[in-house]
Amino acid sequence: MDQAAADIKNAPLPTQRTLRLRQNLAFQLWRFIILNLRFAKIIAKGAK
Amino acid sequence: MRDPAGWPVFRRCGRGEFGVARVVVLGAGIAGHTAALHLRRMLAKEHQVTVVSPNSKWNWIPSNIWVGVGRMTTDQVTFALAPVYRRQRIEFHQALATELHPEGSPSNNAPYVSVRYTDPKRAGETGEITYDYLINATGPKLNFAATPGLGPDANSVSVCTPDHAREAAERFAETVGKLKQGIRQRLVVGVGHGTCTCEGAAFEYCFNVEHELRMAGVRDLADVTYLTNEYELGDFGVGGMIFHQNGFETTSKLWTESLFRERGVKAIVQAHVESVEPGTIHYEQLDGSKNSLDFDFAMLLPPFRGADLKAFDSTGNEISSEVFAPSGFMKVDADYTERPYEQWSAQDWPNTYESAAYPNIFAVGIAFAPPHQISKPRQSPNGTLITPAPPRTGMPSGIMGKTAARTIADRIANGASASAHRASMATIGAGCVASSGMGLRNGTAAAMTMYPVVPDFKRFPGTGRSAIDTFGEIGLAGHWVKYMLHVMFIYKARALPGWYLIPE
């Protein structure tokens, strides 16, 4: 087995809770707001 | 009117009297189109803005990924440029720039660009377009020829253009059809040369393919492999990133590997594709080993080089080597001194994108020659360079285009000595959303931001980037962001009311 395959095999898997949160509409709506704020901050820094 | 140094000056000569400036933009991609729209908005009416592009349509390239799996049509990611430019009072030549004459010629003492028309009504005609300021935003030449057998005209598919993506979708549908008949298939997605860039796009397409296979109920029969020139997963051509998550520092390598494990996608890293035969990819890896990989479907991105544009001085002698780097990209205000990786600095990267040879020429987006890679360069024992080229698409491209436009607008208004605006990739950030699926609930995305794009180890000791502003997150929200960006940027590019309020 090459190194990349070994690294993938040993990588952590998300828990069931994390997988549910990734698709939970209410939680993702909150994350959508956060993501947009983070993007806006990056844009604002670039515009300086 | 010219100043004593010979630069064009367009000073206010008296009330209502202006010299007329002509700004020519080569290319109508994200950088060129952004520059042209902002120039038209910032310049007085009497000044002329001209766009030269061989393509009749604008393309929101990030969404080609969705075209490539059949989730969007080419019409959803493109629109005709001519009506937009007509409405904006921008002159449009559907033509390919072939020669640059920055000092004019014996028969024409103004700087000009030679073009060959691709407009069907003028096909084959040639012409000369004079300029006072020029923005080179020609983007890349898709260099499929660098790898024998690579590309849609040979043995693999691509998603670099809408037509390539449509063809990829057709081939992908055929592969899904075979899987539905119970025939096992191997799908390989990645990059087709050791020096390719845009690994993020290949990564995104790979996970779209994986998602579609699951949706079609044939995932268990498909072997999906990601083939990349990155030293390790999560490099993305930017040397990888460090994220802060739940009180720990984690690497983009571990974060990406987790996604590969979760989705059952295999990976081959440190690979330079040497050739693509029907059904077989031959590649060399960084340890010098030569290997082959059989495939039924392969989407491999090509390496890029600069557009086929030659430069000549006033006497007709070719000066391409002064204006362009060997890669064909235009040399700008970067520090091109060759140094070992350990001595690379954020200060090597250009700030103003002014040509090193002619300050009234700018090169933005992919068209400028980067001083070096961002990822650490590595060679195999056979001397093969296997290192991603630096990405400079999307958000940074738009910012560069606007920056050059602001400089030119200032110089036209205030004289050629007006100082240039600055936007080094070492001081701007970028966002990247790799999304798969379609619809409100049926999708997911890996959303990442990094600040700055080029690590600055003096400002941010240790990681080279801001720990707060460099992060990654997986979920449905990133997918919504990607679709929102699709809608917003096409609205902006169409120059619809308030377009300029949408940031680059």
Measured between CB atoms, does B357 come within 8 Å of chain A?
Answer: no
Given a cut of 50, is residue B500 above it in pLDDT?
A: yes
User: What is the per-residue pLDDT for B17?
Assistant: 40
User: What is the per-residue pLDDT for A47?
Assistant: 65
From CA B448, how far away is CA B135, in angstroms rounded? 30
- What CATH number has the domain spanning B12-142+306-414? 3.50.50.100
Cis status of the peptide bond prior to B303, with omega within 30 of 0: no
Shortest Cα distance from A4 to chain B (angstroms)?
6
Given a cut of 50, is residue B99 above it in pLDDT?
A: yes
From CA B334, how far away is CA B353, in angstroms rounded? 8
User: What is the per-residue pLDDT for B398?
Assistant: 93
Q: How many CB pairs under 8 A join A and B?
A: 95
pLDDT digits (tens, 9 = 90+) for B307-335: 999 999 999 999 999 999 999 999 999 99
User: What is the per-residue pLDDT for B203?
Assistant: 96
Element (H, E) at A5: helix A3-10
Residues in chain A closer than 8 A to B267 (CB atoms): 4-5, 8
| B200-239 residues touching A, CB cutoff 8 A | 232-233
Contact between residue B87 and residue B495 where contact means Cβ atoms under 8 Å apart: yes
Shortest Cα distance from A26 to chain B (angstroms)?
10
Domain extents in chain B: 12-142+306-414
User: What is the per-residue pLDDT for B12?
Assistant: 40
The percent of residues above 70 in pLDDT, for chain B, comes to 96
User: What is the per-residue pLDDT for B177?
Assistant: 98
Angle of helix B30-42 versus helix B81-88 axis, rounded to 10: 20
User: What is the per-residue pLDDT for B8?
Assistant: 56
The percent of residues above 90 in pLDDT, for chain B, comes to 87
User: What is the per-residue pLDDT for B16?
Assistant: 34
What's phi and psi for B485, nearest 5 deg?
A: -65, -40
Residues in chain B closer than 8 A to A48 (CB atoms): 427
Residues in chain B closer than 8 A to A35 (CB atoms): 447, 473, 477-478, 481
**Mean of the per-residue pLDDT values of chain B:** 93
**Closest residue on chain A to B447 (Cα):** A35
User: What is the per-residue pLDDT for A44?
Assistant: 85
Token digits of residue A2: 């090459």
B6-10, B69-73, B81-85, B228-232: segment of lowest average pLDDT: B6-10
What's phi and psi for B231, nearest 5 deg?
A: -65, -40
User: What is the per-residue pLDDT for B408?
Assistant: 97
Q: Look at the alpha carbons of B455, B457, B463, B467 in this order and tell me if their dihedral is positive or negative.
A: negative
Measured between CB atoms, does B254 come within 8 Å of chain A?
Answer: yes
Query: How far is CA B485 from each of CA B63, B99, B472, rounded to the nearest angstrom?
Result: 10, 35, 17
Interchain pair B449, A5: CB under 8 A: no
User: What is the per-residue pLDDT for B11?
Assistant: 44
What's phi and psi for B427, nearest 5 deg?
A: -125, 0
From CA B374, how far away is CA B235, in angstroms rounded? 10
pLDDT digits (tens, 9 = 90+) for B374-426: 999 999 999 999 999 999 877 889 999 999 999 999 999 998 889 999 999 99
Residues in chain A closer than 8 A to B423 (CB atoms): 46
Residue A2, Cβ neighbours under 10 Å: how many? 15
From CA A28, how far away is CA A34, in angstroms rounded? 9
Measured between CB atoms, does A23 come within 8 Å of chain B?
Answer: yes
User: What is the per-residue pLDDT for B9?
Assistant: 52
Helices (H) then strands (E): counts for chain A:
3, 0
Nearest by CB: B429 against A11, A14, A45:
A45
**Strand boundaries in B228-322, DSSP class E:** 242-245, 248-251, 266-268, 271-277, 280-285, 290-294, 297-301, 304-306, 310-311
| B392-411 residues touching A, CB cutoff 8 A | 395, 399
Nearest by CB: A11 against B254, B269, B441:
B254
Given a cut of 60, is residue A1 above it in pLDDT?
A: no
Question: Average pLDDT for residues B482-493, to the nearest whole number?
Answer: 95
Decide which of B13 and B485 is more confident: B485
Measured between CB atoms, does B500 come within 8 Å of chain A?
Answer: no
Given a cut of 50, is residue B128 above it in pLDDT?
A: yes
From CA B84, how far away is CA B98, in angstroms rounded? 25
Measured between CB atoms, does B454 come within 8 Å of chain A?
Answer: no
Token digits of residue B97: 């720039």
Measured between CB atoms, does A6 come within 8 Å of chain B?
Answer: no
User: What is the per-residue pLDDT for B76?
Assistant: 97
Query: How far is CA B340 from each of CA B175, B334, B373, B422, B459, rounded to the nearest angstrom?
Result: 45, 16, 11, 26, 21
Confidence of residue B45 (pLDDT cuts 50, 70, 90): very high
The ipTM estimated for the assembled molecules is: 0.94
Given a cut of 90, is residue B115 above it in pLDDT?
A: yes
User: What is the per-residue pLDDT for B436?
Assistant: 86
